[in-house]
Chain A
């Protein structure tokens, strides 16, 4: 039986809109002709291409080699290299422009590959698993991806106790992790087990939406076998935010401006566990991930297994851009030529609410009432307008989890989330403390002129 947990203060109930894709089986993409594989999947420095234009590559062949702080990039499908181009993809909550390798004349299997296990991961010890993950060049498939090996090493070094798999998906429309758990749940569980052992966590929790527990019943046996606890959580946005999730699960709060490792917890998503399993046990890199294609303008909503580097237009051929990349609450708006990457778990064709011009704050207090971190956003907005960064720090602005709730509820349509984020950035600059390279934090941007 899954354990039921409490809830946090604040938060909102947003229309969930998941019905369209909730029960649709995963499909493979068919219509794509060209891939533009981004060379900096985690942001920061781009890997350097090791292939020549005109060269043919097999699926899984190395396309680019990174320095010590990035990951190498591999071909998702077999094809022919055309050129190095520049593309746009979403990392974190912004769009990033980066170099990419264009592949044409694609061939090869576009489905999630099957295969025998070639590595005895069950009896491998943690050191061996970590070494194997180190060779993987995988990235965590979160909003702000991070090389998986770095993520594992950091969690291992922090001696974290709890390993949480965040499969809550509290944003509207998105069902990619849900379908992954339903159709490939056992593989995900093995991936969880691999990563938890590599990290050295004592306790392992899979957090899911309590409305969907029935769909996960087949997972109960493998979960018990691999010693993964289930946590069924009530649907309330933003319970999918790591800090809030940990508060609900462990009753501990991430300190102001800190990260989840500070309270001994490592949080990851099912898609990364799935990819880790495929690499560690089967020796294969998944060159793609599940992407939810949905929205009111989509004729056939689905969850597609999409190779990295597919452009948005070919995934949503019947609806005009702009599209929402990565969920309506934390994603960004993109044009048709933006490509998918590890961070893109949804591509939605929805109409963004027209906001018009923002008017002034009327101090209704709704932003504060609904902020999951209990920040007084109305006051932070004043401080932003007055550029009083120090006061903002005293009021705890660094606690913000950038969930977007305050902007969502504000009747004056003020861009509060962006303002709080800019305050946070200003505070960090003021303190001369570079943003901690935390799980989920983007690389600090080198000031290249």
Chain B
């Protein structure tokens, strides 16, 4: 600015510093309210879990929440880290962790998982808003990895009970012992005779029955040495020694919908998860695109991916498109069983949608959901793992920063396909 005598003698308008700035009104939602409402929504499937799994589940849940809050509080006291931000997210982590744990988890495993969730999942990254993986899943993953190692270390022949989170038979309380029954006192049921939870009483002296996890029942369809089934729904008459049909061994679909089936505390009750999830969508805390993409992609994989069936003369038939193989009705039931038998619903609505560890843009969330559902169903079908859906969510969490970096919707006023050029352009060109 040339300082001619004329300009220097003139006065200019000067901005007033530190004036409060627009917008002066704000929306009522705060971070605390977001986490509190999500926690309350997550309590719905937890309540269903309490009903079917009794006081064990209640103890596990309370212990999980208490240890998460206590560990976060302790960490905060030691480090005075400002980024952990209030207790709301610690409660949420505790509840979500409880949802993913089986009801018979021993107390020290719960505390171990909580410690991993808070310390490794959250604190290492700097707290709320910074973590890469959903903290509750970090805790769940850690115990899933550590427990088999611990079991190996236990000297053979010692009279300690083997600790495992994936037993061959999982307990469920029967109708007359809901909420307060004891999971340790159940009868082992043979699945072949199983005709649904509602039509059964526990045998005398027991409070429930133990049965195979539906995902395990379906597993021989796609993995294992030798096919255990010769058809999806109807045993084949033309084969001399036809093996049973897969779907006849499963509980009625109603049991899977309402939660009377083996699984983690919050994994089983699909109806409650849907209600809570739809409430979260309604409150705009969850974008509907992500759960829908996740579930739809998992369902499509289940409908398309091949299953192995026993053919004549000990042969194995790989059958693509199981959804069409024995009519659409059977195919539809099969896909429903595949989707409902694991932890897919819980992952889709509560774990994948964690705001911090999912992409920011809606398009990115669709990518996240589609890829996550694909991985989850792929793992559930072909890999022997107890937590396929959780692993898928963790894998996609890892990719979230990448998705955010490459999915750049066109900004107002930008040229079309500007985003294609961005990764390859070092500096913006000068005009």
Q: A residues engaging B (CB < 8 A)?
A: 12, 14, 39-40, 43-46, 48, 67, 88, 91, 93-99, 172, 243, 247, 253-258, 322, 324, 327-334, 350, 352-353, 355, 359-366, 368-369, 372-376, 378-379, 390, 393-396, 399, 404-405, 407-413, 415, 417-418, 431, 433, 445-448
Choose from B13, B19, B361, B431 the contact partner of A334 (Cβ within 8 Å): B19
Contact of B24 with A328 in the complex, beta carbons under 8 Å: yes
Known A98-B14, A254-B413: A362·B356 in contact at CB below 8 Å = yes
Known A46-B12, A96-B13, A98-B14: A352·B25 in contact at CB below 8 Å = yes
| B interface residues, how many (CB within 8 angstroms) | 56
By CB atoms of chain A within 10 A, which of B13, B85, B128, B409 has the most?
B13
Which residues on B sit within 8 Å (CB–CB) of A433? 431
B86 to chain A, nearest CB (A): 8
Contact of B12 with A365 in the complex, beta carbons under 8 Å: no
Choose from B23, B360, B361 the contact partner of A408 (Cβ within 8 Å): B23
Q: How far is the CA of A208 from the CA of B121 in the complex (A)?
A: 52
Choose from A48, A95, A366, A376 the contact partner of B15 (Cβ within 8 Å): A95
The list of the 3 closest CB pairs from A to B, nearest first, reads A396-B411, A373-B412, A404-B23
Q: Does B161 contact A (CB under 8 A)?
A: no
By CB atoms of chain B within 10 A, which of A48, A95, A390, A404 has the most?
A95
By CB atoms of chain B within 10 A, which of A359, A404, A415 has the most?
A359
In the complex, which residues 2-35 of chain B have their Cβ closer than 8 Å to any Cβ of chain A?
6-8, 10-16, 19-27, 29-31, 33-34
Which residues on A sit within 8 Å (CB–CB) of B359? 365
Known A43-B13, A360-B83: A253·B413 in contact at CB below 8 Å = yes
Q: Does B414 contact A (CB under 8 A)?
A: yes
Contact of A417 with B12 in the complex, beta carbons under 8 Å: no
Contact of A328 with B12 in the complex, beta carbons under 8 Å: no
Known A243-B412, A399-B412: A88·B16 in contact at CB below 8 Å = yes
A66 to chain B, nearest CB (A): 9
A408 to chain B, nearest CB (A): 5
B126 to chain A, nearest CB (A): 8
Choose from A376, A394, A408 the contact partner of B425 (Cβ within 8 Å): A394
Contact of A399 with B411 in the complex, beta carbons under 8 Å: yes
Q: How far is the CA of A333 from the CA of B33 in the complex (A)?
A: 27
Contact of A411 with B29 in the complex, beta carbons under 8 Å: yes
Q: Does B204 contact A (CB under 8 A)?
A: no
Closest to B426 in A: A390
Q: How far is the CA of A100 from the CA of B291 in the complex (A)?
A: 60
Which residues on A sit within 8 Å (CB–CB) of B411? 256, 373-375, 395-396, 399
Q: Does B120 contact A (CB under 8 A)?
A: no
Which residues on B sit within 8 Å (CB–CB) of A396? 411-414, 418
Contact of A329 with B19 in the complex, beta carbons under 8 Å: no
Overall SS of chain A's interface = loop
A355 to chain B, nearest CB (A): 6
Which residues on B sit within 8 Å (CB–CB) of A329? 22-25
Which residues on B sit within 8 Å (CB–CB) of A375? 411-412
Which residues on A sit within 8 Å (CB–CB) of B31? 359, 362, 411-412
Q: Does B430 contact A (CB under 8 A)?
A: yes
Contact of A360 with B85 in the complex, beta carbons under 8 Å: yes
Which residues on A sit within 8 Å (CB–CB) of B362? 365, 369
Which residues on B sit within 8 Å (CB–CB) of A405? 23
Which residues on B sit within 8 Å (CB–CB) of A254? 412-413
Q: How far is the CA of A206 from the CA of B21 in the complex (A)?
A: 30
Q: How far is the CA of A95 from the CA of B16 in the complex (A)?
A: 5
Contact of A399 with B11 in the complex, beta carbons under 8 Å: no
Q: How far is the CA of A372 from the CA of B411 in the complex (A)?
A: 9
| Sample (12) of A-B pairs whose CB atoms are under 8 Å apart | A88-B16, A94-B21, A324-B24, A328-B23, A362-B129, A366-B284, A369-B287, A396-B414, A408-B25, A411-B33, A433-B431, A445-B12
Which residues on B sit within 8 Å (CB–CB) of A96? 13-16
Closest to B11 in A: A46
Q: Does B386 contact A (CB under 8 A)?
A: no
Contact of B360 with A378 in the complex, beta carbons under 8 Å: yes
Q: How far is the CA of A194 from the CA of B279 in the complex (A)?
A: 55
Which residues on B sit within 8 Å (CB–CB) of A324? 24
Q: How far is the CA of A433 from the CA of B355 in the complex (A)?
A: 38
A332 to chain B, nearest CB (A): 5
Closest to B412 in A: A373
Closest to A362 in B: B129
Which residues on A sit within 8 Å (CB–CB) of B129? 359-363, 412
Which residues on A sit within 8 Å (CB–CB) of B24? 324, 328-329, 331, 333, 350, 352-353
By CB atoms of chain B within 10 A, which of A48, A257, A352, A364 has the most?
A364
A406 to chain B, nearest CB (A): 9
Which residues on B sit within 8 Å (CB–CB) of A366? 284
Contact of B14 with A374 in the complex, beta carbons under 8 Å: no
Contact of B26 with A253 in the complex, beta carbons under 8 Å: no
Which residues on B sit within 8 Å (CB–CB) of A378? 360
Which residues on B sit within 8 Å (CB–CB) of A99? 11
Contact of B26 with A353 in the complex, beta carbons under 8 Å: yes
**19 more A-B residue pairs beyond the given contacts A45-B10, A361-B129, with a C-beta to C-beta distance below 8 A:** A45-B11, A67-B6, A93-B21, A96-B15, A97-B16, A172-B25, A243-B413, A256-B413, A331-B24, A332-B19, A333-B24, A353-B24, A360-B128, A363-B129, A394-B422, A396-B414, A408-B23, A408-B25, A418-B21
